[in-house]
Amino acid sequence: GAVVSQHPSRVICKSGTSVKIECRSLDFQATTMFWYRQFPKQSLMLMATSNEGSKATYEQGVEKDKFLINHASLTLSTLTVTSAHPEDSSFYICSASRLEHYNEQFFGPGTRLTVL
């Protein structure tokens, strides 16, 4: 158990467009979902934390109006990159935690975003 999926796995878009990435917990209800960004050869940087039905908590330096997070249910969170620019090109990874596994996060496979 504890499988997390992401869709799409890869997306290429033009500068100025918006891109939505979905994160789903397939076999459990996630108490919290997290969104990370990872640039090439760098570490995972936490962007925001979201709980179902409430507003996401963004990390310092992450623009909440640019990276819109919606957590509509206990199994689905979405990240929308609005007005994407080439510098937003990155590997976006979501994770989910479950009440029975305190602290442990289960990671999605990631989404490679390329903005032309």
The residues of the shown chain that bind another protein, judged by CB under 8 A, are 31-32, 34, 42-46, 49, 60, 91, 93, 97, 102-105, 107-110, 112
Q: CB of 86: closest distance to another protein in angstroms? A: 20
* Nearest residue (CB) to another protein, 9 versus 15: 9
Element containing residue 69 per DSSP (H, E) = strand 67-73
> Please, are residues 55 and 67 in contact by the beta-carbon 8 Å criterion?
no
Between strands 111-115 and 10-13, the pairing is parallel
Nearer to another protein, 45 or 76 (CB): 45
**Residue 13 beta carbon to another protein: minimum distance, rounded to whole angstroms:** 19
In which residue are the tokens 């891109």 written?
19
Q: φ and ψ at 87, to 5 degrees?
A: -70, -10
Between residues 19 and 110, which has the closer beta carbon with respect to another protein?
Answer: 110
Least Cβ distance, residue 107 to another protein (angstroms): 4
On the question of a cis peptide bond just before residue 40, with omega within 30 degrees of 0, the verdict is: no
- One-letter amino acid identity for 45? M
Q: How far is the CB of 88 from another protein (least distance, A)?
A: 18
Using the minimum distance from each CB to another protein, give the nearer residue, 31 or 89: 31
